[in-house]
Chain A
Amino acid sequence: MSIYDLIFYLFAAITVLSALMVVSSDNIVRSAFYLLATFFGVSGLYVLLGADFVAVTQIMVYIGGILILLLFGVMLTSNITNVEIKKGMKNVIPAIVGIGIFLAATISMMTNTNWKTQPGEIPQTTSFELGKLLITDYVLVFELLGILLLIALIGAASMARKEQE
């Protein structure tokens, strides 16, 4: 077992356990903070896959952006701790059936697919290649996404603005 395996299992455990806690916790703020651990775990997994840029983006966008937004929303809502959150065992049998089917499908997919494997180095750095690809092969998508975000930004600003008489 190399140290990378150890780290992988550590991150995997963090991700899975904290994801479980997110759904089972009865305090919505705690759920949000468990989500923090989940995001960290996922970004750790990305690092192990050699996707350093994606990993950092994961931290930046999900923790620095989405999670903070979520927390803001939760904390600025009054009486948030008193909200009844639906959890616990309900519809156990359909759930088990659903999970079972999904699991079976995934496993069969994993075993039956003829995965293309290719011996190769984990790229040392990805940001340079990613940047190149973004402004050559995928430039249209990139620009469209940019426009979409800009529209969203303008929309948000105009909604937040005070109505002027």
Chain B
Amino acid sequence: MQNYLTEIFGNELVAEITVYVLNTIPVLAFIVLFVLFAVWLERKVSAHMQDRLGPMRVGWHGVLQTVADFLKLVQKEDIVADANDKALFNIAPFLVFVATLATYTMLPFTSIFVGSNADVGIFLVLALSGAVVAGILMAGWASNNKYSLYGSLRAAAQIVSYEIPTALVVLTMIMVYGTMNLGDVTEAQTSYFWNWGIFGGAGLGLGKFLLVPFMFVAFIILFISTLAESNRTPFDLPESESELVAGFNTEYSGIKFSMFFLAEFANMFLIGSILVIFFFGGYNSPFGYFGNLIGVDWLIPIEQLFWFIGKGMFFVFISMWLRWTLPRVRVDQLMTICWKYLIPYAFFNLLIVGLILLI
């Protein structure tokens, strides 16, 4: 590809940059398509859980509704109030979106498509979610609106707090797999489903069986804390409509608002895929590949993509299910869950898993 482009442009530098830019397109396209689908799914799930139908008009059962909404959103006036801090106000949504997009580079979608096979994988994902906080604070501050500021402060407090149990569980996982590279983590759980993290990993013998309950605890903790980090109900205090209008994105409209929106839903898939990578075998199929069976090699990556997205979507669905089941928690409850429950459990889990790994 690069050689080909070098011929076209006659310049290696331009060709290289073009390759990098082109490489981001599949991920970007995936995020946009995923968001369009997930918003529709969210509406459908919420509607059916409340015995309604949800969108039905645009396309078959309203599948194109979000496309229509997106088009509408893009047409909207981009309102920037006089009292806003213009520069920061304009940068913030893009910072949030770019930081979220950057985490996607670490995800192994299939064994042949990984944005960046960097060794710091999951560590970078955690670090970038910290950068998202900076973007959210920026948005809240630049909006010059008390609700926005409250929302962003809440978001920051929440994400910073919940980063601790997340990091503790991730540390446990790094101990179990011995690597931070998400591709390697996935490879460690290859072939059948009993090699998946939640079933104690690929090892054999006593350790594997001892690990199972603690992997399960780790899974629950990671699920709750990443859910809180992505500001989803029941942890959606930063944008609680009944208290803060819309939280840190109150003042935003049009394309900038949709940036926040994209980031939020992209985050949902991100947490789903991290859970999948650590506990459910990443892109690995639970029962071997159809492509292997009939001897067609090019089918395998497609199957892997299917399993990865399918499993990720499953957790996205669960988080939607939770959203329409549970009411929002109070701020003090939020902090109690994090500091008094998740962190001690994560700590003990870390210790015990460490002990098990030693024997």
Contact = CB atoms under 8 A, between A and B. Distances in A.
Touching in the complex, A and B, CB below 8 A? yes
Contacts of B133: 64, 68
B138 A60 contact: no
Contacts of B149: 75
Contacts of B127: 56-57, 59-60, 63-64
B156 interface: yes
A59 B128 contact: yes
A77 B356 CA distance: 48
B94 to A, nearest CB: 13
Nearest to B92: A33
Contact of A127 (B120, B137, B157): B120
Contacts of B206: none
B7 interface: no
Interface in B142-189: 149, 153, 156-157, 160, 163, 180
A6 B13 contact: yes
B268 to A, nearest CB: 20
A115 to B, nearest CB: 28
B328 to A, nearest CB: 23
Contact of B123 (A2, A60, A71): A60
Contact of B156 (A27, A60, A72): A72
Is the contact region of chain B dominated by helix, strand, or loop, or is it mixed? Answer: helix
Interface string B124-136: 1011111101100
Interface residues on B, range: 20 to 34
Contacts of A64: 126-127, 129-131, 133, 160, 163
Given A29-B141, A33-B88, A56 B120 contact: yes
A71 B119 contact: no
Contacts of A57: 123, 127
Contact of A52 (B16, B17, B119, B138): B119
Contacts of A67: 134
B358 to A, nearest CB: 14
Interface string B53-88: 000000000000000000000000000000001011
Interface residues of A, number: 31
Contacts of B124: 56, 59
Contacts of A127: 119-120, 123, 180
Nearest to B128: A59
B302 interface: no
Q: Which of A29, A53, A64, A65 has the most CB of B within 10 A?
A: A64
A30 interface: yes
Given A52-B119, A52-B120, A125-B119, A59 B131 contact: yes
Contacts of B331: none
B123 A53 contact: yes
Instruction: Kindly list the 9 A-B residue pairs having the minimum CB-CB distance in the complex, ordered from nearest.
Output: A64-B130, A125-B119, A60-B127, A59-B127, A3-B16, A56-B120, A56-B124, A56-B123, A71-B137
Given A2-B13, A64-B133, 12 more contacts: A36-B134, A52-B118, A52-B119, A53-B123, A59-B124, A59-B127, A60-B127, A60-B130, A64-B163, A68-B130, A72-B157, A75-B149
Interface of B: 12-13, 16-17, 20, 85, 87-88, 118-120, 123-124, 126-131, 133-134, 137-138, 141, 149, 153, 156-157, 160, 163, 180
